[in-house]
Amino acid sequence: MPSSRASPSQNAADPTLSSASDSVFSGITNGLVLQKFVPGQRLVEADLAIQFGVGRNSVREALQRLLAEGVVDIIRHKGAVIRSLTERETMDVLDVAERMMGLLARSAARGISNGRSSRELESALEQLIAANDGNDSAAFSNARRAFYRALLDTSGSRELRRLFPSIHMPIVYAQHRLTGLQNIRLRDYLVIGKAILIGDEVGADTAGATHVRNVRAEISRTIDSGQ
């Protein structure tokens, strides 16, 4: 499929195209989390245009972005398909995520030490607790996104903001539905948040990496048990 990504000048002239493309892009990535899309699923341009109420050009642009970030594959005579990961690929993604999560948490702790506001992170942690207490999985998913936005904002690192979203964790989670994942996340996020809020760079780095190791252990357990 030839690239239909609009040039910067085109997007500047027609911001609605970029906005519509963004809605498709985020709708598919968020849909992976909510099980509305699954690995191996074919993405039909006409169907997506109807589903998201956008034009075909916006759908094509979104699919090119998803291809660039490794969320979809483009298969000849079949079109776009949500990527499926082998067991080895899954572990490779987790290896990268472990280092990146530790680095992000460390960088956020450094941001707090350098005087960045803690309010956004504190608010995200409060949202996570409230969503968990209310047994509201959709609210927890929104709070989780707010947590990662807060880490990136508190970090202030342009490189982490550029690289972190490219880790294929949405596909990992979509492919491996983990029992008790929300409990693992809440427990680990609170530990990460505590270390960041006191500016403990080493502790935050350790807590961030440990979170991904906990996810890896749970995925390995489900693979070994054949779930």
Domain hosting 33: range is 8-82
Query: Residue 5: which pLDDT band, with cuts at 50, 70 and 90?
Result: very low
Same domain, 78 and 125: no
Same domain, 123 and 34: no
Distance of alpha carbon 24 from alpha carbon 139, whole angstroms:
21
Determine what percent of the chain is predicted with pLDDT higher than 70: 91
Q: Mean pLDDT in the chain?
A: 87
Which pair of tokens denotes residue 153?
């904002």
Domain boundary (82, 112, 132) is at: 82
What's the domain count of the chain?
2
Q: Which residues pair with 75 in a beta bridge?
A: 79
**Does 21 fall in a domain?**
yes
Domain boundary (26, 52, 82) is at: 82
Same domain, 112 and 200: yes
**Does 2 fall in a domain?**
no
CATH assignment of the domain containing 170? 1.20.120.530
The model's pLDDT over 32-46, given as tens digits with 9 standing for 90+, comes to: 877 788 888 999 999
**Does 62 fall in a domain?**
yes
The model's pLDDT over 53-62, given as tens digits with 9 standing for 90+, comes to: 999 999 999 9
Domain boundary (42, 58, 82) is at: 82
Same domain, 105 and 216: yes
CATH assignment of the domain containing 21? 1.10.10.10
**Does 125 fall in a domain?**
yes
The model's pLDDT over 63-81, given as tens digits with 9 standing for 90+, comes to: 998 988 888 998 887 889 9
> Is the per-residue pLDDT at 91 higher than 90?
yes
Same domain, 101 and 174: yes
Instruction: Summarize the confidence of residues 156-167 as an average pLDDT.
Output: 90
What pLDDT score does 123 carry?
97
- Residue-level length of the chain: 227
Determine what percent of the chain is predicted with pLDDT higher than 90: 56
Same domain, 114 and 208: yes
Same domain, 107 and 76: no
Same domain, 73 and 110: no
**Does 1 fall in a domain?**
no
Same domain, 203 and 138: yes
pTM of the model: 0.78
Same domain, 76 and 99: no
**Does 3 fall in a domain?**
no
Tokens 């040039």, residue?
7
Please give the residue that has the higher pLDDT: either 123 or 6.
Answer: 123
Distance of alpha carbon 21 from alpha carbon 138, whole angstroms:
23
DSSP the chain: ----PPPHHHHHH-HHHHHHHHHHHHHHHHHHHTTSS-TT-EE-HHHHHHHHT--HHHHHHHHHHHHHTTSEEEETTTEEEE----HHHHHHHHHHHHHHHHHHHHHHHHHHHTT---HHHHHHHHHHHHHHHTT-HHHHHHHHHHHHHHHHHHH--HHHHHHGGGS-HHHHHHHS--TTHHHHHHHHHHHHHHHHHTT-HHHHHHHHHHHHHHHHHHHHHHHHHT-
Please give the residue that has the higher pLDDT: either 178 or 54.
Answer: 54
Instruction: Summarize the confidence of residues 139-151 as an average pLDDT.
Output: 92
Same domain, 164 and 202: yes
Same domain, 177 and 70: no
Query: Does residue 108 contact residue 196 with C-beta atoms inside 8 Å?
Result: yes
Of 162, 103, 154, 99, nearest in space to 124 by CA:
154
**Does 102 fall in a domain?**
yes
**Does 208 fall in a domain?**
yes
